[in-house]
Chain A
Amino acid sequence: MTTPQQPPVFLERRSYRQRRLMDALRLLPIFGVLLWMFPLFWPATQDETAQAAPIPMSAAVIYVFVVWFVLIASSFALRHILRPTFEQQAADLGEADASEAR
């Protein structure tokens, strides 16, 4: 029975970067929600008390799709940068599977 190894408190630069990118990956959907819920503040046609003219539809379309594209690109980039970490985790899980089957 090996006691679980205490993870080191400070990491080398590379692992540190990977950890922070992992945080970014976790935060990405939250950014997505914030950005996509932002249009709620835009003046719309049906607002009776609106101070400003409603946003034109073309701007709204461009905004939503640009956010979308940025999220996809970030997700793509993060996935590629974090690939070694994922592979490591998959390997760990694979080992666990193997030991479970035993």
Chain B
Amino acid sequence: MASVNQLIGVSLGYVVFLFAVAFFAERAAVRGRRGWLGSPMVYTLSLSIYCTAWTFYGAVGYAARSGMEFVTIYLGPSLVMIGWWWILRKLVRIGRAQRATSVADLISARYGKSNLLAVVVTVMAVIGVTPYIALQLQSVTLSLSVFSGPVGENSFNQPGAAFWIAVGLALFTVLFGTRNLNANERHDGVVIAIAVEAVVKLVALMAVGIFVVWGIAGGIGPMMERIDASPIGEWNIDRSRWIALTALSAAAFLCLPRMFQVMVVENQDERHLQIASWAFPLYLLLMSLFVVPIAVIGLDLMPAGANPDLFVLTVPLAEGRVGLATLSFLGGFSSATSMVIVATLALATMVSNHVVMPLWLSMREEGATVSGDVRDVVILARRASILVIIGLGYLYYRFSGGGAALAAIGLISFVGVAQFLPSMLGGIFWRGATRSGALTGLIVGFAVWVYCSLLPSFGPGSIYSLSMFENGPWGIASLRPEALFGIAGLDPTVHAVVWSLTLNTFAFLVVSLLSFPGPLERLQGAQFVNVFDHSTQTRGWDAAFATSEDLMIMSQRILGSEEAQNLFRAEARRQGVRGHLPEPTQAFLQQLERELAASVGSATAHAMISQLVGGASVSVQDLMAVADESAQILEYSNRLEAKSAELSRTALKLREANEKLTALSVQKDAFLSQISHELRTPMTSIRSFTEILRDTEGLGHVEKNKYATIIHGETIRLTRLLDDLLDLSVLENGQVNLNVETGRLSDVLEQAVVTAQAAATGPVAIKRRHLDEAILLTTDLDRLSQVFINLITNAQKYCDASAPELTIDVRNVNGAVSVVFADNGTPIAVQSRAVIFEKFARIDDSEGSGAGLGLAICREIMTRLGGDIRYEPAATGNAFVVDLPAPEALAAQ
């Protein structure tokens, strides 16, 4: 048999090895060579601190007593990991976004950064977990005692060993757990040491298992036969425990402070969770694979009174495998130490951040602005907390007597921490959860747990008297600690789980429904629940009151001068400010608060900044503003949309205007070239004939007269053209003065016909119906007459019928008077009809002597007068319709 001293030597060597691993891991991390330190496998292995000495030794004992029930402790966490998408993904995301340092910090941050809540959670965690730490100490000393032979024979002193183990663990935790302050910078040394220990315990348990199955039983088949033949060879479960323990272990897996520490706080990459989703259940499977075989063989080989909890050690020892037993001892030792280290670290962070620091801050009147390095205070607080917690664990171990009462504490501890579950899950999935609800739920659950689970665990006669168990306090049977409300016969653990969690959840829900959350709570609630929408931003500080200098001084004392300066410099660079000090904007204060929260917890960080910034950070108005933000954004976007539509409309108009201008410019060019052409033709003829008159000798009188007549005619034509142009220009520019008078349509027509016929060259028969013409007009009669003359002259000029005929017809439809000039000539070609009213538009260039301005002038005049002129194809020939201005026409007789 190995002596205890040898074993202690091996353990010390192992511990030195762990220290070295942790030390080099820290060194590598500091140098930035994280490499495999940050690998998902290390993350998965670090999760294995779920498997403590209680599960390492205890699972076999559990299996020896109750068969497969032990596996429920692993089924719950496996389900949580496999269902990582539902809860863990969100938890890790929130933990990282909020820089949560512990489960207390998370809950406090969710419910408005309430320190009271953090303190309650911390106290509950300490009370729940300290006995668990004691259990680890007990398991190590118990396993040591196995090697020392029968109790009392040797000088092995169990409490003494426990003391030195506690000291060693405290030293390790202080050294590697409080090296740096920022909890989010992660404890690489600790994590690596835990990962190594995880491998050791898995290898140890599997080695024992393989030895048992193939070394003792002789293979899988014989092993199965021995299992069925053993005292636990039949399916024998308490169904309520099967359900309750699976649920409980799942809840504890989420709520245990040490699990939160490795799962959320030490998480370096959210993707590691995806690997762990299959790798960690695999680890648990391997851890529990050989539990039943070891238990069965242990029951078979060991004497009747042997402690089944120690089969992992005693079976190899009984078979003379000292090396294997030593490995197994190291496995148990690893399980115990890793759990104690991380649990202590997690609890110490909670205690220092939520109890010591707030107390210290409130004791100093100057608050956060005192001189001196707060970092030292925080680290000191954390180290003291570590010592106090391990000390508490040790004391608990000493005074509980290390007996069987301790063995039950594993599940009791689970029930205690599971009380965080309603507040935690409610907080991340339900925006309606309030601080009062969480507080009530936690306290109710905690009270029920203490009353129904913790205190009864000491057994009748220690804290509760026997009559208390049997008759309830003061004889009230419905308050019996293990049969609340008269429901007796339940398994005590199931009883405690059901009642504590039910009442906890009920209180949490009811009070949350009835109470109203504060502004900060509502903001945080939105941030937690909608963490994947990444749209909500905590709006916090009224930045006006803080000065950058104060903030800098405070940050330096918490983050360290170098880091604080880097942070401020980076922000200043981002803001584009010269120098080191950025403007204390809201965004910067939020960032700073989060950085500080990573060191001292969100509630303390919030309190510190609020001391500098002054007063409440969130007003109801702020909250309303946030609530209105989406509405505002919507409105803003609507406005933008409207503007954009308007802009495109304007652009369209501009484009149209531009097209018009371009068209006008083309028209103008055409007009100019037309005019030059029109002017040039008579001018050429005038020049030619004047040259003939000047240069030709001996022209006869008749010829001279003829040429002069031509010249005269051409100048008349020129004059007419210029008159027309002038007329048109005047009309187009709107400079015309209308000489409005009242007269009869028949008179105007009469005058026009007479004038036109006086200058006529061709005979056109004009047909009129004088009766219709008896209409009184009030307009510029001269101009109207001009239009009529023009139309009649046109007919005279262009009507090519053998017996030209012009019918002047007056239509009166409901007071709208039109005069139709219809001839019997060849109809104008369809394609030309569109342009006849344009300037210089002539149907046939060779024909006639007009410049093509007549109809253009007519249209301008009619437009000026408020009427219109249009072309209508008639049955035989052409018709021009002159619509007389309506109001004047109304004045008909």
Q: Which of A29, A40, A55 contacts B79 (CB 8 A)?
A: A29
Residue A26 interfacial (CB < 8 Å): yes
Q: Are A56 and B79 in contact (CB under 8 A)?
A: no
Q: Are A56 and B271 in contact (CB under 8 A)?
A: no
Q: Are B78 and A37 in contact (CB under 8 A)?
A: no
Taking CB atoms, residues of chain B closer than 8 Å to A55 are: 234-235
Q: Provide the A11-33 mask, 1 if CB < 8 A to any CB of B, else 0.
A: 00000000000000110111011
| Among listed B47-55, B222-230, B504-512, B665-673, interface-contacting one | B222-230
B594 CB → nearest A CB, Å? 11
Q: Are A79 and B274 in contact (CB under 8 A)?
A: yes
Q: Are A45 and B85 in contact (CB under 8 A)?
A: no
- Identify which of residues 204-255 in chain B touch chain A, using a CB-to-CB cut-off of 8 Å: 224-225, 227-228, 230, 232-239, 242-243, 246
B682 CB → nearest A CB, Å? 69
Most A CB within 10 A of own CB, among B86, B232, B234, B591: B234
A26 CB → nearest B CB, Å? 5
Main secondary structure of the interface of A (DSSP, over half): helix
Q: Are B230 and A57 in contact (CB under 8 A)?
A: yes
- Identify which of residues 288-312 in chain B touch chain A, using a CB-to-CB cut-off of 8 Å: 289, 292
A29 CB → nearest B CB, Å? 3
Q: Which of A3, A43, A90, A97 contacts B235 (CB 8 A)?
A: A43
Q: Are A57 and B232 in contact (CB under 8 A)?
A: yes
Q: Are A33 and B79 in contact (CB under 8 A)?
A: yes
A18 CB → nearest B CB, Å? 14
Q: Are B235 and A60 in contact (CB under 8 A)?
A: yes
The contact size tier of chain B is 35 or more
Q: Which of B78, B235, B242 contacts A68 (CB 8 A)?
A: B78
Q: Are A40 and B224 in contact (CB under 8 A)?
A: no
Most B CB within 10 A of own CB, among A32, A37, A68, A73: A68
**A54, B83: Cα distance in complex, Å:** 32
Q: Are B242 and A72 in contact (CB under 8 A)?
A: no
Q: Provide the A41-64 mask, 1 if CB < 8 A to any CB of B, else 0.
A: 011111000000011111111001
Q: Are B85 and A57 in contact (CB under 8 A)?
A: no
Q: Are B82 and A71 in contact (CB under 8 A)?
A: yes
The contact size tier of chain A is 35 or more
Q: Are A54 and B235 in contact (CB under 8 A)?
A: yes
Q: Are B236 and A29 in contact (CB under 8 A)?
A: no
Q: Are B243 and A57 in contact (CB under 8 A)?
A: no
Q: Are A57 and B67 in contact (CB under 8 A)?
A: yes
**A40, B72: Cα distance in complex, Å:** 12
**A42, B534: Cα distance in complex, Å:** 47
Residue B373 interfacial (CB < 8 Å): no
**A29, B281: Cα distance in complex, Å:** 12
Q: Which of B246, B285, B534, B637 contacts A72 (CB 8 A)?
A: B285
Q: Are B67 and A1 in contact (CB under 8 A)?
A: no
Known A39-B237, A72-B285, A75-B82: A58·B224 in contact at CB below 8 Å = yes
B558 CB → nearest A CB, Å? 20
Residue B21 interfacial (CB < 8 Å): no
Q: Are B235 and A56 in contact (CB under 8 A)?
A: yes
Q: Are A65 and B285 in contact (CB under 8 A)?
A: yes
Q: Are B234 and A72 in contact (CB under 8 A)?
A: no
Residue B282 interfacial (CB < 8 Å): yes
A88 CB → nearest B CB, Å? 12
Q: Provide the B26-49 mask, 1 if CB < 8 A to any CB of A, else 0.
A: 000000000000000000000000
- Identify which of residues 49-102 in chain A touch chain B, using a CB-to-CB cut-off of 8 Å: 54-61, 64-65, 68-69, 71-73, 75-76, 79, 83, 86, 90, 93, 96-97, 100-102
Taking CB atoms, residues of chain A closer than 8 Å to B82 are: 28-29, 32, 71-72, 75
Taking CB atoms, residues of chain A closer than 8 Å to B281 are: 68, 71-72, 75
Taking CB atoms, residues of chain A closer than 8 Å to B227 are: 56-58, 61
A46 CB → nearest B CB, Å? 6
**A60, B640: Cα distance in complex, Å:** 67
Q: Are B75 and A3 in contact (CB under 8 A)?
A: no
Q: Provide the B66-110 mask, 1 if CB < 8 A to any CB of A, else 0.
A: 011001000100111111011000000100000000000000000
Taking CB atoms, residues of chain B closer than 8 Å to A58 are: 224-225, 227-228, 233
Q: Are A26 and B85 in contact (CB under 8 A)?
A: yes
Q: Which of B71, B83, B234 contacts A45 (CB 8 A)?
A: B234
Taking CB atoms, residues of chain A closer than 8 Å to B224 are: 58
**A26, B88: Cα distance in complex, Å:** 12
Taking CB atoms, residues of chain B closer than 8 Å to A71 are: 78, 82, 281
Residue B392 interfacial (CB < 8 Å): no
Taking CB atoms, residues of chain B closer than 8 Å to A97 are: 534
Residue B277 interfacial (CB < 8 Å): yes
Residue B636 interfacial (CB < 8 Å): yes
**A3, B439: Cα distance in complex, Å:** 40
Q: Are B236 and A44 in contact (CB under 8 A)?
A: yes
**A25, B236: Cα distance in complex, Å:** 32
**A1, B275: Cα distance in complex, Å:** 37
Q: Are B235 and A1 in contact (CB under 8 A)?
A: no
Taking CB atoms, residues of chain B closer than 8 Å to A29 are: 79-80, 82-83, 86
**A55, B225: Cα distance in complex, Å:** 14
Q: Are A57 and B235 in contact (CB under 8 A)?
A: yes
**A100, B242: Cα distance in complex, Å:** 46
Most B CB within 10 A of own CB, among A3, A43, A90, A100: A100
**A64, B227: Cα distance in complex, Å:** 15
Q: Are B68 and A61 in contact (CB under 8 A)?
A: yes
Q: Are B75 and A75 in contact (CB under 8 A)?
A: no
B342 CB → nearest A CB, Å? 24
**A69, B242: Cα distance in complex, Å:** 19
Most A CB within 10 A of own CB, among B82, B228, B275, B285: B82
Taking CB atoms, residues of chain A closer than 8 Å to B75 are: 36, 64, 68
Taking CB atoms, residues of chain B closer than 8 Å to A86 are: 271, 274
**A72, B80: Cα distance in complex, Å:** 12
Q: Are A32 and B235 in contact (CB under 8 A)?
A: no
Q: Provide the B425-438 mask, 1 if CB < 8 A to any CB of A, else 0.
A: 00000000000000
Most B CB within 10 A of own CB, among A1, A65, A71: A71
Q: Are B242 and A39 in contact (CB under 8 A)?
A: yes
Q: Are B285 and A68 in contact (CB under 8 A)?
A: yes
Q: Are A90 and B271 in contact (CB under 8 A)?
A: yes
Residue B537 interfacial (CB < 8 Å): yes
Q: Which of B71, B232, B236 contacts A46 (CB 8 A)?
A: B236
Q: A32-B78, A55-B235, A57-B292 are in contact. List 20 more A-B contacts (CB 8 A).
A: A1-B636, A3-B637, A26-B83, A26-B85, A29-B83, A39-B235, A39-B242, A40-B242, A44-B235, A57-B227, A57-B230, A57-B232, A59-B235, A60-B235, A68-B75, A71-B281, A72-B285, A73-B278, A75-B81, A90-B271
A-B interface, 8 closest residue pairs, ranked by CB to CB distance from nearest: A29-B83, A96-B534, A55-B235, A76-B278, A75-B278, A58-B224, A45-B236, A54-B234
16 A-B residue pairings within 8 Å (CB atoms): A28-B82, A28-B83, A29-B82, A43-B235, A45-B236, A54-B234, A54-B236, A57-B67, A57-B228, A57-B232, A60-B67, A72-B78, A73-B278, A96-B534, A101-B591, A102-B574
